């Protein structure tokens, strides 16, 4: 039997309030509490709660035949506890169902894997511990922020003990190869790689409600037919997408929830595919070979590179200033400073500074609180300046 791996990313950043130059040194509350709470409740009611209920119903109905996987950032878990404990409870019910695998990632949904030092390892271990605490699982699968991956990043992930990792099935690294097979890291062959089939994933995540798309309307039966038409040798299809696809990016009125409810039956009726979690995929399939990824790739935009986060001078200046503070943060025992440093690492802050407005422009506008990339940069750097003053005041004299 061939395999479908359904994986969902769950993440919301702590958005910053409008922080002026004149606030530096005087105001240390950086977060827009009203916006963060309002957006979390909005997405909870439109997406998280109804979709979790559907998945729980499907798992109870189909038993071991239906499985999914989640990666939930630590900053999102913090917001669940603060603003939406009912959502956290619903994810815990899913964990108890036996049909869900929870993945490890960086706690703040950060770009730390691109940096030297051990901040990446520290934040991964922190999120791993939270998954164990809240869901009773010991993650074996890793999903890096924005599916960012390279050979060297994979080696770091393997050194942390993970045996499989998700990433993008980017054309520039696959070439003639198909994403519908299992691969492995060339430096650490024990780390297996599951590649996103972005064509079929984006049919659901981005094109589902597009009436100008030649695949509209997309029904569960039509999607099953597309799967059945894949080459018989294709062993798996990895459908990776933001969880907000259901109810938020694609509103309930589009029929997205009906599609999700009907999909397992259509798959079982019309194809030779079954559902598995990433760990299940690796347990039941062999790698067909090493996948060489010398430079980092991601899911984003047509380029599938890092330019959505580190593609201009604003982003790189902010990122450099942030990372220079890591040694000082590790020297302080101040819990507030450590928390703020985590939240300031979230990749969304750099995404808001993106100056790319091409075919993927609407993606960059999602819940973006700023009018311009420059406004995002100025606001972030004001916050970072205040954070640096607090950090240096808390650091023992003579250390820098």
Domain containing 237: what range? 2-284
Instruction: Give me the catalytic one of 146, 168, 235, 248.
Output: 146
pLDDT score of 167: 98
Strand locations in the chain, DSSP E?
2-10, 68-72, 100-102, 141-143, 164-168, 182-184, 192-196, 236-242, 273-275
pLDDT per residue over 326-363, tens digit each? 999 999 999 999 999 999 999 999 999 998 764 444 54
My answer on whether 131 and 199 are in the same domain is yes
- How far apart CA 206 and CA 360 sit, in angstroms, is 10
Give the count of alpha carbons within 13 A of 165, CB side only. 30
Q: In the predicted model, is pLDDT for residue 301 greater than 90?
A: no
Residue 296 in any domain: the answer is no
Residue 363, in any domain of the structure: yes
Average pLDDT, the chain: 95
Same domain for 363 and 258?
no
In the chain, % of residues over pLDDT 70: 96
What is the DSSP pairing of strand 100-102 with strand 182-184? unpaired
CATH of residue 134: 3.20.110.20
pLDDT in tens, 9-57: 999 999 999 999 999 999 999 999 999 999 999 999 999 999 999 999 9
pLDDT tens for 204-253 read 999 999 999 999 999 999 999 999 999 999 999 999 999 999 999 999 99
Task: Let me know if residue 301 belongs to a domain.
Answer: no
9 touches 243 (CB < 8 A): yes
Residue 116 CA to residue 190 CA, distance in Å, equals 23
| Residue 395 β-bridge partners | none
The rounded percent of the chain whose pLDDT value lies above 90 is 94
- What is the C-alpha to C-alpha distance for residues 91 and 70, in angstroms, rounded to an integer? 10
| pLDDT of 130 | 98
Q: For this structure, is 146 an active site residue?
A: yes
Domain count, the chain: 2
**Beta-bridge partner residues of 195:** 167
Whether 144 maps to a domain, the answer reads yes
Together in a domain, 365 and 267: no
CA of residue 126 relative to chain centroid, distance = 16
Tell me what the mean pLDDT of segment 304-332 comes to.
96
In a domain, 300, yes or no: no
Rg (the chain; Cα; Å):
21
Helix, strand or coil, per DSSP, at residue 6:
strand
Please give the sequence-ordered ranges of beta strands (E in DSSP) within 265-341, or none if there are none: 273-275
Q: Distance between terminal CA atoms of the chain?
A: 58
Q: Could you give the CA distance from residue 148 to residue 143 in angstroms, rounded to a whole number? A: 8
């Amino acid at each position: 039997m061939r395999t479908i791996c359904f994986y969902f990313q769950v993440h919301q950043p702590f958005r910053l309030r409008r922080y002026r130059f004149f606030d530096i040194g005087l105001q240390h509350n950086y977060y827009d509490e009203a916006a963060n709470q309002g957006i979390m409740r909005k997405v909870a009611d439109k997406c998280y709660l109804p979709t979790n209920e559907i998945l729980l119903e499907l798992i109870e109905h189909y038993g071991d035949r239906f499985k999914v996987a989640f990666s939930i950032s630590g900053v999102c878990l913090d917001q669940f506890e603060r603003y939406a404990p009912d959502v956290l409870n619903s994810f815990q019910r899913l964990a108890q169902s036996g049909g869900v695998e929870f993945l490890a990632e960086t706690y703040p949904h950060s770009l730390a894997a691109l940096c030297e030092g051990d901040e990446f390892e520290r934040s991964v271990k922190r999120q791993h511990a939270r998954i164990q605490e809240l869901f009773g699982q010991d993650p074996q699968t890793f999903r890096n922020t924005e599916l960012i991956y390279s050979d060297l990043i994979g080696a770091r992930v393997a050194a942390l003990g993970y045996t499989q990792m998700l990433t993008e099935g980017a054309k520039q690294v696959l070439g003639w190869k198909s994403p519908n097979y299992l691969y492995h890291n060339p430096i650490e062959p024990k780390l297996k790689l599951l590649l996103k089939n972005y064509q079929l994933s984006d049919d659901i995540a981005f094109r589902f409600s597009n009436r100008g798309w030649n695949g509209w309307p997309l029904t569960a039966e039509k999607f099953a037919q597309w799967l059945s038409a894949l080459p018989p040798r294709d062993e798996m299809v990895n459908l990776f997408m933001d969880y907000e696809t259901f109810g938020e990016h694609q509103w309930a009125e589009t029929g997205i929830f009906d599609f999700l409810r009907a999909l397992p039956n259509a798959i079982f009726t019309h194809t030779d595919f079954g559902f598995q979690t990433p760990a299940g995929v690796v347990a039941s399939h062999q790698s067909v070979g090493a996948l060489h990824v010398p430079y980092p790739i991601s899911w984003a935009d047509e380029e599938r590179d890092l330019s959505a986060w580190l593609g201009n001078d604003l982003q790189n200046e902010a990122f450099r200033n942030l990372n220079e503070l890591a040694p000082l943060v590790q020297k302080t025992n101040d819990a507030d400073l450590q928390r703020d440093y985590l939240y300031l690492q979230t990749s969304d802050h750099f995404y808001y500074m993106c100056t790319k407005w091409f075919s993927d422009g609407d993606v960059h506008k999602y819940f973006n609180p700023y009018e311009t990339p420059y406004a995002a940069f100025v606001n972030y750097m004001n916050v970072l300046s205040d954070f640096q003053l607090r950090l240096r005041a808390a650091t023992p004299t003579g250390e820098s």
